[in-house]
Chain A
């Protein structure tokens, strides 16, 4: 079956702009989690959605938000972009909650903020 897909794969934005990233989970998976990966900070948890409800949130400012649709697809939005938001954003899906089940990761969206 098809894996986790993320669009777009690469994105270049300027400071102050906003951006929306999309994630389509594996069919049947109800949990979608988002992570930010940077060389300095490693893998940082952003949030997890399960059946359209945000189940958990990491320590990121309110500029980072997300949502999940009834078909389990998820979007992540970052408003008022800062240089420090440049990172690889990874989406992962699982059948059950992320902490209880193996996650399947997408290839990521590489965001560059100039």
Chain B
């Protein structure tokens, strides 16, 4: 079974509008969840993680993510998107085999 899913291949938003990138997971035990971003022609960069603690996690570049155990989701959010946020976003989870499994990725395009 797929450990992590990103239901949207693409997300398009206008600059200044809220941005949400969705992620759901399926693992037994306590989930270890991560978000990474890949800018064009650059390597993947860590944004934030949830291991334990507050359900709202704050990360780099003004991003945050909300862990929802009942919905098994870990959506990435930014209150006001910038054109420079246009990139490929990956959700990842430590799966039941203790390896890091990545979602298929969501391409975010922020239009000026």
Q: Do A and B come from one complex?
A: yes
Contact A103 B46 (CB under 8 A): yes
Interface residue tally for chain A (C-beta within 8 Å): 23
Q: Which of chain A's residues have a CB closer than 8 A to the CB of B103?
A: 42
From B15-23, B67-75, B92-100, the one touching the partner chain is B92-100
**Chain A residue with Cβ nearest B103:** A42
Which residues of chain B from 60 to 108 have a CB within 8 Å of any chain A CB? Answer: 90, 94-95, 97-105
Q: Which of chain B's residues have a CB closer than 8 A to the CB of A58?
A: 99
**Chain B residue with Cβ nearest A106:** B43
Contact B99 A98 (CB under 8 A): yes
Q: How far is the CB of B63 from chain A (nearest CB, A)?
A: 14
Give 28 CB contacts A-B under 8 Å.
Answer: A33-B100, A42-B102, A42-B103, A43-B102, A45-B99, A45-B102, A48-B99, A48-B100, A56-B98, A58-B99, A99-B32, A99-B95, A99-B98, A99-B99, A99-B100, A100-B32, A100-B51, A100-B94, A102-B34, A102-B46, A103-B46, A104-B46, A105-B36, A105-B43, A106-B43, A107-B42, A107-B43, A108-B43
